[in-house]
Amino acid sequence: MTALIVAAILSVCIGVALGLLGGGGSILTVPILVYALEVEEKSAIASSLLVVGVTSAVAAIQHARAKNIVWPVALVFAATSMVGAYLGGRVAAFISSTVLLVLFALLMLATAAAMWRGRRMPEGPAVSAAPRAQTNRRRSLPFVKVAVEGSIIGAVTGLVGAGGGFLVVPALALLAGLPMRQAIGTSLVIIALKSFAGYAGYASHVEVNWALTGTVALAAVVGSFIGAPLAKRVPDVILRKGFAVFVVATAVFILMKQL
């Protein structure tokens, strides 16, 4: 009972991260399950995929109402990443838990560096003032590159249990050129679909604690209702750089624990 209460409290932060940043849920979920609740690593990864999938789906509904989702990009990215996620989940059966977590942390560091540097992209007010230019930019999106990125990131998701927001958000913002808020909203659709695909890959060789997973998922959903409204009030540059700092801190913690 104590473990479930601790899990519920910590899991609210998972939902806040997902709603606010469009990612970070799995970055919190895996350490919480492994280090705070002492869940076996691969079981924690499988549970994380379920939690992040459910929470992302709920948070995506809120972003859809705010028109922060670019559906053509979301569907192309999600379709290719689901295949990669399922295959990654199956391959994880042959890789040690320590290797998976170290790989997870190293990828987080690389992504944080890319997010901190950023690129020139339209900010919120400029985008709303020029809807026609925004539409033209969407039509010229590099869908082939988006599909390739989706496959690779999906494989990483299935392999290490990351919902992939810390990879998807930069890909959408830096590669597809989406403004940060749209990158966040679009990423939630992608994360939800490929997280479920990744769990399907893990289900063949890992069991999860359903009571614990359900508690974490429910608390995370509650947190997502807090995070999504906050995303409207925080400037894009602060979201991006705050996201990068958050990812670095968590990656360093995981590396210290594993190494």
What's this model's pTM, rounded to 2 decimal places? 0.75
Cβ-contact 89, 208 below 8 angstroms: no
The three-state secondary structure class of 163 is coil
Which of these, 247, 251, 125, lies nearest to 180 by C-alpha position? 125
Distance of CA 1 to the CA centre of its chain: 28
The two tokens of residue 215 are 């508690």
Q: Which residues contact 225 (CB under 8 A, 6 or more apart)?
A: 15, 19, 58, 62
| Nearest partner of 147 among 176, 127, 179, 113, judged by Cα | 176
pLDDT string in tens for the chain (259-residue length): 676 677 777 778 777 776 666 566 667 788 788 878 888 888 988 998 898 888 888 878 878 988 889 988 888 888 888 998 999 889 988 998 888 888 888 877 877 776 687 654 444 443 443 344 444 444 456 767 777 878 888 888 888 776 566 678 777 877 777 887 888 888 889 988 988 998 999 988 899 989 888 888 888 888 877 776 776 777 767 777 877 887 788 889 889 888 7
